[in-house]
Structure 1
Amino acid sequence: MEKFTYEDSFQFKDFIEENSQLFKDTLLKEAVNVRDKTDEILRVGNIDLITNAHTLVGYIIEERDKELQAFAEQEGIAWATYSMAISFKLEWIQAIRRTLWYFFNKYILLSKDKSFNFFELEKQINNRVDDFLNTFFISYTKYKDSLINAQREQVEKLSVPIIPINPFVCVLPLIGTIDAQRIDILEDKMLTEIGEKRIQTIFMDLSGVPNINSDEIFRLIQIIDSASLMGCNTVLIGLRKEFVRKVTERGIKLNESTKTLGTLQQALREYLIT
């Protein structure tokens, strides 16, 4: 390992920069699980851990708290965007903390400056490291949650696709399980689309729904009734025997204007082909 160099005119930050290679080696030695991931993190997220470590140390030493907070927020967003393991970040920051104190100890020994108030300095440095971590985690969590919510909204939109056939007729193919959450999405999207686009007929294709419980069937019929009140008729397509059996068992009555057909092709022929 290289030896420390020191000049009397140097301040602590200059001391770290003069011994930058030693700083890097010490930091990587401290970060046992991260040191083999630095290239991968750079490649995937364009995050240079060593450069960022020097930036962070500079903000801490120079007491640049606004820049420190902004940097922590920026880092939180970057790590959330690329789904980096947050455990690596925690280990890396703690390695920076230990390396920083190791260097400070060497700096004091070489400079022989006895004027430092160690306890006050310890409080300031550790508080700033902790502030960075707190801001980072808050930023990471908020941005990660926003990404998850955006993805969920996209999935929800795709789970209830309303496909226009012409300005007045649309197809609503439902595939997969229909649960309470999806029924809520269906109600909101279907009634909104009817109101905004003045849809007159919706072909609701249930041939791809393997199962639906009685409560959701009742909710579905209520949505169809609501659509009818808005001037839109619903044509139910591809009803499975399980659906029909539950409708019969519960004594659920379809709206008089609601028609049922076996296939989408039948619906298209009856309503669109003259």
Structure 2
Amino acid sequence: MDKLIVEVIEKYKDDISKRWKEKLEEQEMMNNLQVMSKDLYQKTNEEFLGLIYSHITVKYNESNDKILEFAEKLINMGWNLSYLTQGLQTFRRTVLEVLFEKVSVNEKALDTYQEVDRWIDPLMNGLMDASSKNWQNTLSMQKVALRELSAPLIPVFKHISVMPLIGTIDTERAKLIMENLLNGVIEHRAQVVLIDITGVPVVDTMVAHHIIQASEAVRLIGATCILVGIRPEIAQTIVNLGIDLGQFPTKSTLYNGIQTALSLTNRQIVEV
């Protein structure tokens, strides 16, 4: 940054800090104030302001890394990205305000604006990138967790297991379903597997193809697959699309499927 601007910032540091904090409170930009103590908010402001000042005097890479670490910490704690971006924008406006008040820079006003922007803009871009990466990582972890939880094979009787499916089924999830299904059949020594599609909103040609593949894979390792949870609208869609599910038993409800599974394993439900 230009030497004159740095000198002005250091000389009027207290004034700049006071104005910056007042502007933040005036803007009421922090919704977090409703759920956190005033002391924590003020402490965070002090830390943020200290990092901004260090960015002026310390080597760029070192100070930039510290600001990004600070940003990541706040985002992980649930703070809004707007606190960081608006905080920097407010600091820029405050610095320019003080410069034009305290120093005669009117003749080169455009140069002054550009100099301050060249200092602030990389920080803004870094914050946006860090936030985007954090969001993408969080989304990826959520997707992995959801996939792991959304296709379990649950043993309900000896040699009988159920796989309840919920939500849409794409190619990637179908691979996970197939993997969990085959591993579960072997682990639980299942002879009959009921795939429950009650929670699947749409069964199109692609979904049916994945189900048929799963059924065939189960058959190849010595077990039988029963498709249950076929609602009337799903049945109509299957017929209209000309999908052939005749390779394995299909039942409208899980109860009917369990009755068939018990029959296949030489057992039955007896009312007492």
| Maintained 8 Å contact 1:165/1:171 | yes
1-structure distance, mates of 2:109, 2:62 = 24
Give the SS at the match of 1:236: strand
| Maintained 8 Å contact 2:30/2:83 | no
Unaligned stretches of 5+ residues in structure 1: 1-10, 110-116
Unaligned stretches of 5+ residues in structure 2: 1-6
Q: 1:17-166 residue pairs with structure 2 within 5 A?
A: 19=14, 22-31=15-24, 32-34=26-28, 37=31, 39-40=33-34, 43=37, 48-103=43-98, 125-165=116-156
Match of 1:259 in 2: 249
1-structure distance, mates of 2:91, 2:35 = 17
The structure 1 residue matched to 2:178, chosen from 184, 188, 191, is 191
Task: Decide which moves more: 87-96 or 229-238.
Answer: 229-238
1-structure distance, mates of 2:35, 2:55 = 23
Shift of 1:70: 1.0
Q: How much identity, in percent, do the aligned residues show?
A: 14
Given the superposition, is the C-alpha separation of residues 218 and 193 from structure 1 closer, same or farther in structure 2, using an over 3 Å criterion? closer
1-structure distance, mates of 2:175, 2:142 = 18
Give the SS at the match of 2:218: helix
Shift of 1:103: 4.4
Q: Which amino acid aligns with 2:146?
A: V
Given the superposition, is the C-alpha separation of residues 230 and 59 from structure 1 closer, same or farther in structure 2, using an over 3 Å criterion? farther
Give the SS at the match of 1:239: coil
Given the superposition, is the C-alpha separation of residues 72 and 233 from structure 1 closer, same or farther in structure 2, using an over 3 Å criterion? farther
- Superposition CA RMSD, Å: 3.9
TM superposition score normalised by structure 2: 0.69
Shift of 1:79: 4.3
| Maintained 8 Å contact 2:165/2:195 | yes
Matched residues, number: 248
Match of 1:114 in 2: none
Given the superposition, is the C-alpha separation of residues 119 and 216 from structure 1 closer, same or farther in structure 2, using an over 3 Å criterion? closer
| Maintained 8 Å contact 1:160/1:174 | yes
